[in-house]
Structure 1
Protein backbone atom coordinates (compact mmCIF):
# COMPACT_ATOMS: atom_id res chain seq x y z
CA UNK A 1 0.00 0.00 0.00
CA UNK A 2 1.30 3.43 -0.93
CA UNK A 3 -0.30 6.87 -0.67
CA UNK A 4 1.33 9.59 -2.73
CA UNK A 5 0.63 13.05 -4.08
CA UNK A 6 -0.75 13.06 -7.59
CA UNK A 7 1.36 15.21 -9.91
CA UNK A 8 -0.37 17.79 -12.12
CA UNK A 9 0.62 15.69 -15.16
CA UNK A 10 -1.12 12.55 -13.87
CA UNK A 11 -4.76 12.00 -14.75
CA UNK A 12 -7.30 12.43 -11.98
CA UNK A 13 -8.96 9.16 -10.93
CA UNK A 14 -12.33 10.62 -11.95
CA UNK A 15 -14.26 7.38 -11.52
CA UNK A 16 -13.21 7.25 -7.87
CA UNK A 17 -13.79 10.95 -7.28
CA UNK A 18 -17.31 10.62 -8.69
CA UNK A 19 -18.10 8.00 -6.03
CA UNK A 20 -17.94 10.72 -3.37
CA UNK A 21 -19.15 13.67 -5.43
CA UNK A 22 -21.49 13.35 -8.44
CA UNK A 23 -20.44 16.71 -9.94
CA UNK A 24 -17.49 16.52 -12.32
CA UNK A 25 -17.62 20.33 -12.58
CA UNK A 26 -17.12 20.76 -8.81
CA UNK A 27 -14.47 18.04 -8.71
CA UNK A 28 -12.44 19.77 -11.41
CA UNK A 29 -12.75 23.07 -9.54
CA UNK A 30 -11.49 21.88 -6.16
CA UNK A 31 -8.85 19.52 -7.53
CA UNK A 32 -7.40 22.47 -9.48
CA UNK A 33 -7.18 24.47 -6.23
CA UNK A 34 -6.08 21.63 -3.96
CA UNK A 35 -3.63 18.74 -3.84
CA UNK A 36 -4.81 15.23 -4.72
CA UNK A 37 -3.44 12.10 -3.07
CA UNK A 38 -3.99 8.56 -4.30
CA UNK A 39 -3.82 5.21 -2.57
CA UNK A 40 -2.29 2.43 -4.66
CA UNK A 41 -2.50 -1.26 -3.89
CA UNK A 42 -0.65 -3.69 -6.14
CA UNK A 43 -0.13 -0.93 -8.72
CA UNK A 44 -3.83 -0.04 -8.92
CA UNK A 45 -5.31 3.26 -7.66
CA UNK A 46 -8.03 2.26 -5.19
CA UNK A 47 -8.48 5.44 -3.17
CA UNK A 48 -8.20 9.20 -3.35
CA UNK A 49 -8.57 12.36 -1.30
CA UNK A 50 -8.01 16.07 -1.86
CA UNK A 51 -6.44 18.51 0.60
CA UNK A 52 -7.79 21.98 -0.11
CA UNK A 53 -6.45 25.17 1.51
CA UNK A 54 -9.45 27.26 2.62
CA UNK A 55 -8.21 29.99 4.98
CA UNK A 56 -4.90 30.86 6.62
CA UNK A 57 -3.78 27.87 8.72
CA UNK A 58 -6.82 25.83 7.60
CA UNK A 59 -7.33 23.09 5.03
CA UNK A 60 -10.36 21.03 4.12
CA UNK A 61 -10.26 17.32 3.45
CA UNK A 62 -12.57 16.79 0.48
CA UNK A 63 -13.65 13.79 -1.55
CA UNK A 64 -12.38 10.80 0.39
CA UNK A 65 -13.24 7.88 -1.91
CA UNK A 66 -12.34 4.20 -2.07
CA UNK A 67 -13.07 1.78 -4.91
CA UNK A 68 -16.25 -0.09 -3.99
CA UNK A 69 -14.46 -3.45 -4.32
CA UNK A 70 -12.25 -2.40 -1.37
CA UNK A 71 -14.92 -1.01 0.98
CA UNK A 72 -14.92 -2.27 4.56
CA UNK A 73 -11.20 -3.04 4.60
CA UNK A 74 -9.92 0.07 6.39
CA UNK A 75 -8.62 1.92 3.31
CA UNK A 76 -10.80 4.97 3.95
CA UNK A 77 -9.39 5.18 7.46
CA UNK A 78 -5.85 5.04 6.03
CA UNK A 79 -6.66 7.92 3.68
CA UNK A 80 -8.10 10.08 6.48
CA UNK A 81 -5.17 9.36 8.81
CA UNK A 82 -2.74 10.18 6.00
CA UNK A 83 -4.59 13.45 5.33
CA UNK A 84 -4.37 14.42 9.00
CA UNK A 85 -0.61 13.78 9.05
CA UNK A 86 -0.12 15.56 5.74
CA UNK A 87 -2.04 18.63 6.96
CA UNK A 88 0.07 18.70 10.15
CA UNK A 89 3.31 18.41 8.16
CA UNK A 90 2.22 21.28 5.93
CA UNK A 91 1.71 23.48 8.99
CA UNK A 92 -2.07 23.70 9.05
CA UNK A 93 -3.59 24.29 12.48
CA UNK A 94 -7.14 23.21 11.58
CA UNK A 95 -8.48 20.49 9.30
CA UNK A 96 -12.08 20.73 8.14
CA UNK A 97 -14.30 18.09 6.60
CA UNK A 98 -17.88 18.17 5.40
CA UNK A 99 -20.43 15.49 4.70
CA UNK A 100 -24.06 15.29 3.76
CA UNK A 101 -26.74 15.30 6.43
CA UNK A 102 -27.57 11.68 5.58
CA UNK A 103 -23.98 10.39 5.88
CA UNK A 104 -24.52 8.75 9.26
CA UNK A 105 -21.59 6.36 8.88
CA UNK A 106 -19.23 9.16 7.85
CA UNK A 107 -20.39 11.38 10.74
CA UNK A 108 -19.72 8.59 13.22
CA UNK A 109 -16.26 7.85 11.80
CA UNK A 110 -15.16 11.47 11.65
CA UNK A 111 -16.14 12.00 15.27
CA UNK A 112 -14.24 8.86 16.30
CA UNK A 113 -11.16 10.48 14.75
CA UNK A 114 -11.63 13.63 16.88
CA UNK A 115 -13.43 15.82 14.35
CA UNK A 116 -16.08 17.98 16.04
CA UNK A 117 -19.26 19.31 14.45
CA UNK A 118 -19.06 23.07 14.03
CA UNK A 119 -21.81 24.11 11.62
CA UNK A 120 -24.45 23.16 9.10
CA UNK A 121 -24.48 24.72 5.65
CA UNK A 122 -28.22 24.60 5.01
CA UNK A 123 -29.32 23.63 1.50
CA UNK A 124 -25.69 23.25 0.30
CA UNK A 125 -26.54 20.29 -1.93
CA UNK A 126 -29.68 21.96 -3.27
CA UNK A 127 -27.65 25.06 -4.27
CA UNK A 128 -24.66 23.27 -5.79
CA UNK A 129 -26.09 20.18 -7.48
CA UNK A 130 -28.62 20.07 -10.28
CA UNK A 131 -30.09 16.65 -9.52
CA UNK A 132 -31.25 15.46 -6.10
CA UNK A 133 -28.83 13.17 -4.23
CA UNK A 134 -30.05 10.39 -1.95
CA UNK A 135 -28.04 8.45 0.61
CA UNK A 136 -29.36 5.91 3.11
CA UNK A 137 -32.86 6.61 1.76
CA UNK A 138 -32.61 10.30 2.76
CA UNK A 139 -32.27 13.26 0.42
CA UNK A 140 -28.94 14.98 0.93
CA UNK A 141 -29.75 18.67 1.45
CA UNK A 142 -27.40 20.08 4.10
CA UNK A 143 -23.62 19.94 4.53
CA UNK A 144 -22.56 19.06 8.07
CA UNK A 145 -19.18 20.67 8.71
CA UNK A 146 -16.68 19.26 11.17
CA UNK A 147 -13.17 20.30 12.12
CA UNK A 148 -10.15 19.05 14.01
CA UNK A 149 -7.50 21.05 15.83
CA UNK A 150 -4.11 19.86 14.62
CA UNK A 151 -1.98 21.55 17.29
Structure 2
Protein backbone atom coordinates (compact mmCIF):
# COMPACT_ATOMS: atom_id res chain seq x y z
CA UNK A 1 0.00 0.00 0.00
CA UNK A 2 1.22 3.50 -0.71
CA UNK A 3 1.99 6.24 1.73
CA UNK A 4 -0.82 8.70 2.45
CA UNK A 5 0.17 12.21 3.48
CA UNK A 6 -2.51 14.51 4.86
CA UNK A 7 -2.79 17.97 6.33
CA UNK A 8 -3.17 18.02 10.12
CA UNK A 9 -4.91 20.96 11.82
CA UNK A 10 -2.27 22.96 13.70
CA UNK A 11 -4.18 22.63 16.98
CA UNK A 12 -4.13 18.82 16.67
CA UNK A 13 -0.47 18.35 15.73
CA UNK A 14 0.91 17.55 19.19
CA UNK A 15 0.91 13.80 18.42
CA UNK A 16 3.62 14.44 15.79
CA UNK A 17 6.15 15.73 18.33
CA UNK A 18 7.91 12.35 18.83
CA UNK A 19 8.47 12.01 15.07
CA UNK A 20 9.53 15.62 14.51
CA UNK A 21 11.79 15.64 17.59
CA UNK A 22 14.33 13.76 15.49
CA UNK A 23 14.58 16.84 13.24
CA UNK A 24 15.02 19.40 16.05
CA UNK A 25 16.81 19.58 19.38
CA UNK A 26 14.00 21.35 21.27
CA UNK A 27 10.28 20.63 21.37
CA UNK A 28 9.56 24.32 22.04
CA UNK A 29 10.87 25.22 18.57
CA UNK A 30 8.61 22.60 16.97
CA UNK A 31 5.60 23.78 18.99
CA UNK A 32 6.26 27.35 17.79
CA UNK A 33 5.73 26.20 14.20
CA UNK A 34 2.41 24.60 15.22
CA UNK A 35 1.12 28.04 16.20
CA UNK A 36 2.49 29.84 13.12
CA UNK A 37 -0.40 30.51 10.71
CA UNK A 38 2.00 30.37 7.72
CA UNK A 39 2.92 26.76 8.59
CA UNK A 40 1.08 23.66 7.43
CA UNK A 41 1.61 20.37 9.22
CA UNK A 42 1.46 17.01 7.48
CA UNK A 43 1.30 13.43 8.75
CA UNK A 44 2.29 10.49 6.57
CA UNK A 45 0.77 7.08 7.25
CA UNK A 46 1.12 3.62 5.83
CA UNK A 47 -1.81 1.29 6.57
CA UNK A 48 -2.90 3.79 9.26
CA UNK A 49 0.50 3.69 11.00
CA UNK A 50 2.36 6.99 11.36
CA UNK A 51 5.67 6.79 9.49
CA UNK A 52 6.59 10.44 8.94
CA UNK A 53 5.72 14.10 9.29
CA UNK A 54 6.57 17.47 7.82
CA UNK A 55 6.05 21.14 8.62
CA UNK A 56 6.14 23.60 5.73
CA UNK A 57 6.00 27.39 5.81
CA UNK A 58 3.82 28.60 2.94
CA UNK A 59 4.29 32.39 3.19
CA UNK A 60 2.35 34.82 1.06
CA UNK A 61 5.50 35.62 -0.83
CA UNK A 62 7.94 33.02 -2.12
CA UNK A 63 9.80 30.91 -1.42
CA UNK A 64 8.11 28.24 0.67
CA UNK A 65 10.32 26.30 3.09
CA UNK A 66 10.28 22.84 4.62
CA UNK A 67 10.89 23.62 8.29
CA UNK A 68 10.88 19.99 9.45
CA UNK A 69 10.65 16.63 7.75
CA UNK A 70 11.20 13.31 9.46
CA UNK A 71 10.60 9.59 9.00
CA UNK A 72 10.42 7.34 12.06
CA UNK A 73 13.76 5.52 12.47
CA UNK A 74 12.32 2.02 11.94
CA UNK A 75 10.89 3.09 8.54
CA UNK A 76 13.93 4.84 7.07
CA UNK A 77 15.58 3.64 3.89
CA UNK A 78 12.30 2.47 2.31
CA UNK A 79 11.55 5.50 0.14
CA UNK A 80 9.03 7.14 2.47
CA UNK A 81 11.05 10.35 2.78
CA UNK A 82 11.13 10.68 -1.01
CA UNK A 83 7.36 10.06 -1.15
CA UNK A 84 6.81 12.84 1.41
CA UNK A 85 9.05 15.18 -0.62
CA UNK A 86 7.11 14.31 -3.80
CA UNK A 87 3.84 15.10 -1.99
CA UNK A 88 5.25 18.46 -0.88
CA UNK A 89 6.41 19.25 -4.42
CA UNK A 90 2.87 18.55 -5.66
CA UNK A 91 1.58 20.81 -2.89
CA UNK A 92 4.05 23.46 -4.10
CA UNK A 93 2.58 23.21 -7.60
CA UNK A 94 -0.93 23.63 -6.16
CA UNK A 95 -0.05 26.55 -3.90
CA UNK A 96 2.74 28.38 -5.73
CA UNK A 97 4.60 28.46 -8.97
CA UNK A 98 8.07 29.01 -7.62
CA UNK A 99 10.52 27.51 -5.18
CA UNK A 100 10.77 25.32 -2.11
CA UNK A 101 13.68 25.57 0.31
CA UNK A 102 14.93 23.01 2.81
CA UNK A 103 17.87 23.21 5.19
CA UNK A 104 20.02 20.65 6.90
CA UNK A 105 23.12 20.64 9.06
CA UNK A 106 26.54 20.79 7.46
CA UNK A 107 27.32 17.51 9.24
CA UNK A 108 24.22 15.58 8.06
CA UNK A 109 25.83 13.85 5.10
CA UNK A 110 22.89 11.51 4.45
CA UNK A 111 20.46 14.45 4.33
CA UNK A 112 22.73 16.41 2.01
CA UNK A 113 22.75 13.49 -0.43
CA UNK A 114 19.00 12.85 0.01
CA UNK A 115 17.90 16.37 -0.92
CA UNK A 116 20.09 16.38 -4.01
CA UNK A 117 18.69 13.00 -5.08
CA UNK A 118 15.22 14.57 -4.74
CA UNK A 119 16.16 17.33 -7.20
CA UNK A 120 17.10 20.13 -4.79
CA UNK A 121 20.15 22.25 -5.58
CA UNK A 122 22.53 23.96 -3.16
CA UNK A 123 21.36 27.51 -2.54
CA UNK A 124 22.99 29.16 0.49
CA UNK A 125 24.80 28.65 3.78
CA UNK A 126 23.33 30.04 7.01
CA UNK A 127 26.51 30.35 9.03
CA UNK A 128 26.42 29.50 12.74
CA UNK A 129 22.71 28.65 12.47
CA UNK A 130 23.02 25.86 15.05
CA UNK A 131 24.91 27.90 17.68
CA UNK A 132 21.86 27.58 19.96
CA UNK A 133 22.69 23.89 20.46
CA UNK A 134 24.98 23.69 23.46
CA UNK A 135 27.16 21.82 23.86
CA UNK A 136 27.71 21.49 20.10
CA UNK A 137 26.87 18.14 18.53
CA UNK A 138 28.86 16.25 15.91
CA UNK A 139 27.95 13.74 13.20
CA UNK A 140 30.53 11.76 11.24
CA UNK A 141 33.22 13.60 13.22
CA UNK A 142 31.96 16.96 11.86
CA UNK A 143 30.75 19.64 14.30
CA UNK A 144 27.19 20.77 13.56
CA UNK A 145 27.51 24.52 12.90
CA UNK A 146 25.99 25.79 9.66
CA UNK A 147 22.73 25.15 7.86
CA UNK A 148 23.08 24.21 4.21
CA UNK A 149 20.00 25.40 2.34
CA UNK A 150 18.79 23.60 -0.77
CA UNK A 151 16.26 24.93 -3.28
CA UNK A 152 13.88 23.20 -5.65
CA UNK A 153 12.62 25.39 -8.49
CA UNK A 154 9.49 24.35 -10.35
CA UNK A 155 9.93 24.03 -14.08
CA UNK A 156 13.69 23.55 -13.91
Structure 1 length as normaliser, TM-score? Answer: 0.90
Match of 1:134? 138
Q: Is 1:110 matched up with 2:115?
A: yes
- Distance, in Å, in 2 between the alignment partners of 1:17 and 1:145 is 19
Q: Which runs of 5+ in 2 are unaligned?
A: none
Q: Between Structure 1 and Structure 2, how many residues are aligned?
A: 150
Q: C-alpha distance in 1, partners of 2:60/2:121?
A: 18
Q: Label 1:8 to 1:31 Cα distance change in 2 as closer, same or farther (>3 A).
A: closer
Tell me which residue corresponds to 2:32: 29
Q: Which of the numbers 79, 97, 111 marks the counterpart of 2:84? A: 79
Say if 1:97 and 1:147, in contact at 8 Å, map to a contact too: yes
**Is it true that 1:123 corresponds to 2:123 in the alignment?**
no
Counterpart check, 1:2 vs 2:14: no
**Equivalent pair of 1:59/1:92 in contact (CA under 8 Å):** no
Rounded Cα–Cα distance in structure 1 between residues aligned with 2:64 and 2:34 = 13
RMSD after superposition: 1.6
Q: Partners of 2:128 and 2:87 in 1: how far apart? A: 30
Give 5+ residue unaligned stretches, structure 1: none
Secondary structure of 2:104's aligned partner: strand
TM-score (norm. length: structure 2) = 0.88
In structure 1, the partner of 2:51 is 46
Whether contact under 8 Å (1:58, 1:92) holds in the other structure is: no
